[in-house]
Structure 1
């Protein structure tokens, strides 16, 4: 486990002096996304629970690399690894049966980081509401950016495959969203709340029947706005909507749970459901995140891929991983960011390096008809 102690805090002071232009807060919101709580004085480190846009020293990078290399040396034997892929849905189903909806919090930051989730006319209002929620908590608000490009055609044009398909849920919506790996609805219900008075429709799926049961049993679940269903995105099975019919696909901490050999195929299949101009929104674990470094020896399945004690798995992406993954699926980069933060335990006076990837990739063309 890597925890920043006093010596590391001293090194952080050196970094702050080395990168003043990147780490200075002006009191307003910065032009960059992913938060505005910037640590400029090391003496303030225990003032808040999280600090944004953190720089790493070369010493930090080497320490992290060595930690990951060390906990990866002893891998689970190949003959035992198959069950973590084959029985993945069972491990996650057991997870949700144990924790129900108590483990994760609703993602109120969604619309500030991912305004593309909403129809264009609803984005400013939802982002403002989310910013207000975040300011009331011990976290920062996040900046809205990247609306639909004006040089792309309206997705409701005559070439929309959805308008030519048989009847399906949400077919009359002008804005369609799919969340994969929705869990118990921590993204679903903020989205439903924001689209219920718009001409938008949300699909959400998970391969855990328990998770979907919890979503459908939630008092805010509304079939007029949302369709939740059990689906294993790793398999080549059909969705309840046609190809080229979605405006947005949302994947938040889900692709990391899949064996890395399967992920490219998953992204390619999902991308066929995006319209021209549709966007794939991605947020997940980054390379050398604290949670990667604290894995014990013997929990590694393959490079940067681990299994937890409960059988669920986690892969840790690099920026290059993400770019190759989506570019090879025929999508164009809009955003590909490494979100580095300091997470602070003020009671124990320790600081942990967190790393998440946040990316947006757009479909700029449709494949020729076969």
Structure 2
């Protein structure tokens, strides 16, 4: 295991602070109380409601951005520290890096990158039309350096907006967890098409037994490690094995696939909560 000190991308109050993160291949150990709680929660949301949640998925995310506008998530200034590929994934010196931010939200990842790296072009797509509009209205949005478009990764063809095998790096940060598990494979297949041979997917998302998973009350479970929030948006919690199987089936090679364990302390409320993320790097095989 190794220890570093980067914050996650979730919104939070200024009264919260985080311990250094620990990375490794072992999942978090549950307390007896947590094990009992998860064991009791076996009742699933009805099939009718699950089908409605799937049908309303885009609407629910659009409403999320209508309520929160650009104020919910923090800017991700940590991405180049955690993912050195955003700086060095160039085949020759001086080459322009072409990136796809899959699930760009309101631009919390892309705009810090555009400010930091002048030799980068970013395709940015999101499920929510409202989120895409927020990106386009940002003062830093420049069509010569960034192209934002609405896209459902589970059914829309990225090739309508991104030329085949032209992307060096795809960032998939807190996005795949919002997609129904039955459709995750399709989303990865679409990403695979636009990545050049040797291109890399940089992944960070909710890990198994994260505090957010343990907070769900009875009646919110959709399936194994899959839950619905009060606002109708959904969240899946990944194990290393589950994620690796998804990417390997699509044709990717694993480079890194580790849990990130940390504790977040809310001083105002006197709470210390365990956070678990999965941080991974997968590569599309190079041509022989």
- Using structure 2 for the length normalisation, give the TM-score: 0.88
User: Does the CA-based 8 Å contact 1:33-1:113 persist in structure 2?
Assistant: no
Paired residue for 1:281?
202
Partner of 2:170: 249
Mapped contact 1:34–1:339 kept (Cα < 8 A): no
**In the superposition, relative to structure 1, how do residues 33 and 252 fare at CA in structure 2: closer, same or farther (>3 Å)?**
farther
Instruction: Look up the match of 1:320.
Output: 241
Correspondences of 1:170-189 after superposition (within 5 Å):
174-189=96-111
Name the count of aligned residue pairs: 278
1:291 equivalenced with 2:212 (yes/no): yes
The alignment status of 1:190 with 2:138, answered yes or no, reads no
Q: Does the CA-based 8 Å contact 1:280-1:362 persist in structure 2?
A: yes
| Aligned mate of 2:136, from 208, 213, 216 | 216
For 1:282 and 1:114, locate their aligned partners in 2 and report how far apart those are by CA, in whole Å: 9
Equivalent residue for 1:359, pick from 280, 284, 288? 280
Q: 1:63 to 1:271 in 2, by over 3 A?
A: farther
More strand per residue: 2
Preserved CA contact (<8 Å) 1:51 1:343: no
Query: Which of 229-238 and 284-293 deviates more?
Result: 229-238
Structure 2 counterpart of 1:130: none
Looking at CA atoms only, which structure, 1 or 2, has the larger radius of gyration? 1
Q: CA deviation at 1:350?
A: 2.2
Offset at residue 365 of structure 1 (A) = 3.0
Cα shift readout 1:15-52 (whole Å, capped 9, x = no counterpart): xxxxxxx6xxxxxxxxx364289xxxxxxxx9953342
CA distance in 2, matches of 1:105, 1:59: 29
Question: Is contact 1:332–1:361 with CA below 8 Å preserved after alignment?
Answer: yes
CA, structure 1 residues 241+290, in 2 after alignment: closer, same or farther (shift >3 Å)? same
- Hey, what does 2:38 align to over in structure 1? 68
Which consecutive unaligned segments of at least 5 residues does structure 2 have? 8-14
Counterpart check, 1:114 vs 2:78: no
Q: Which segment drifts farther, 236-245 or 215-224?
A: 236-245
Which segments of 5 or more consecutive residues in structure 1 lack a partner in the other structure? 1-21, 23-31, 38-45, 121-146, 149-153, 157-172
8 Å CA contact 1:234, 1:266 repeated in 2: yes
CA distance in 1, matches of 2:233, 2:227: 9
The answer on 1:201 being equivalent to 2:121 is: yes
Secondary structure of the structure 1 residue equivalent to 2:85: helix
Following TM superposition, by how much is the alpha carbon of 1:115 offset from its aligned partner in structure 2, in angstroms?
1.9
